[in-house]
Amino acid sequence: MNVPVILTHRRGRWVRRLDAELSGLAPLLHRSIVKFAKGGAGAIISSYVPVLMEGRIIAGYATVHRDEYIPLWQTLGEAVHSFGCKFIMQLSHSGRQMDIPGVHNYTRPALSSTSRKESLHGFLCQAMSLEQIDHTIRAFARGAWRAREAGLDGVELHAANGYLFTQFLSSGINDRTDRYGGSLTNRARFLLDVIQAIRAAAAALHLLQSMPAQCAEESHGRYEPKRFADHAAMVEQLMTIYQAHPILRVPTPVEISP
C-alpha cells in the first residue's frame, strides 16, 4: 500500500542566501521543493512564509506580502502539482523573535504582545496597538487569499517555536491587560481572530495550525521549558475554546475519520 508522505520544507542557509525578496522565489528554493514532490511526497508544507516584511525572521525569506508574488507562488504550486503532490503554505510572523532583521527591520522595533525584549537576541520590540493587531490580522487573511489565488492547496499558521502567535499564547511573554492578554481565552483571541479572518477571505482553503511540542515560557530573562503536563493542559483548554467558537468548531475524531 502506498502511504502519502507529508514533508515540511526547511530552508538551509545556502538556500536562504539566494531567496531574495526582489526575486521572490529563488530558483534553487524552487528546485529543492519540486525535488521532494518528484520523489513521491504526498504533500509539502513550505517553510516560514512571512505575511509582512516586518515579520521576517531572517532577511531574504520569500514572502507573500504583495499581490505581485502570486504568480511566483503559482508557478511553484503548479510544478509541485505536476507530480500529484499537494502544496501548503506556512503563513508566519516573527514578532519579536528575529534572527537577522536585515536592512528593512534593523531600526524598526519588532511588534509583539509585549514591549519586553526577547532574551536571546535582544532586539527592540513594542507591544502591538489594537490598530497594529487589526493590520496584522488582515495581513494573514490577505496572505491566505494570495495562496488561494496562486492555486495552492492550503495554509498552515505557524503557532510554534516562539514566534508571534506563541508570544500571544504564552502567559510568560504576554503581559497585556486588554482583551488580548490575561486569561488563555484572551491570549488565544489573536490566533482565533486570524483564523476567522482567513475563513472569511478564503473560505474553501484548507487550514492547518502548528503548535509547539513543548511550551517555552520566559522567566527571569531566560527560557525554561514548562512541564509537559502543563502544556497538555493548555492545548486541552485551547481545544475547548475552539469547540466553543461558532465558526471554528474542531471536528471530532469520528467526523474526520475515513
**Residues labelled catalytic:** 163
State the cell numbers at 228: 509537559
Neighbours of 82 (CB within 10 A): 11
The 3-state DSSP class for residue 183 equals: coil
Task: Please state, in angstroms and rounded to a whole number, the distance separating the CA atoms of residues 61 and 13.
Answer: 11
Give the whole-angstrom CA distance, residue 23 versus residue 70: 13
CA distance 175 to 63: 29
Burial code (b: 16+ CB inside 10 Å, e: under 16) for 28-44 equals ebbebbbebbeeebebb
The helix/strand/coil state of 91 is: strand
How far, in Å, CA of 105 to CA of 55, rounded? 9
The rounded radius of gyration (Å) of the Cα atoms in the chain is: 18
